[in-house]
Amino acid sequence: GTNEEGKGVPGWVPPHFKGVPGPIVHGKKGIHAFLRKSLNSPRTMAVRDCFMHWRDQGQVGKAGKVFVLDSVNPQTRHAIFFDDNIRYDDAHIVDACDIRNPEKPIPLPRA
């Protein structure tokens, strides 16, 4: 098989994530819902992106780490994203998007 085998099938898990404890969340809306629910109680959380996917897609923001914001219902939280690969003029490794239109990236100066 390949890393592509099974893609698009509900519940598909990349081979390098099989056996990892904890939930694997798919899609921007799923990630947004999971993080909103998770952040409503005190906790420590580690989130892992799929570096191989980002690399294989040409290291572009739309394939990078998802940073989902909600422009219609802003929370009292202040969202901050730290990464040493963010560029001044290009999010590069971050896919900043609004949950209202998750497939349209938010331009870096606005994000």
Residue 1 lies in a domain: no
pLDDT in tens, 17-74: 778 787 778 788 888 888 888 888 887 777 777 888 889 889 988 888 888 888 777 6
CA distances from 8 to 39, 50, 88, 94 (A): 28, 16, 33, 22
Total number of domains in the chain: 1
Distance, in Å, from the CA atom of 96 to the CA atom of 104, rounded to the nearest integer, reads: 9
Buried b (16+ CB within 10 A) or exposed e, 20-39: eeeeebeebeebbebeeeee
Residue 6 lies in a domain: no
Domain residues for 68?
Answer: 15-98
Residue 47 lies in a domain: yes
Q: Give residue 58's pLDDT.
A: 93
Residue 104 lies in a domain: no
Query: Which pTM was predicted?
Result: 0.67
Residue 31 lies in a domain: yes
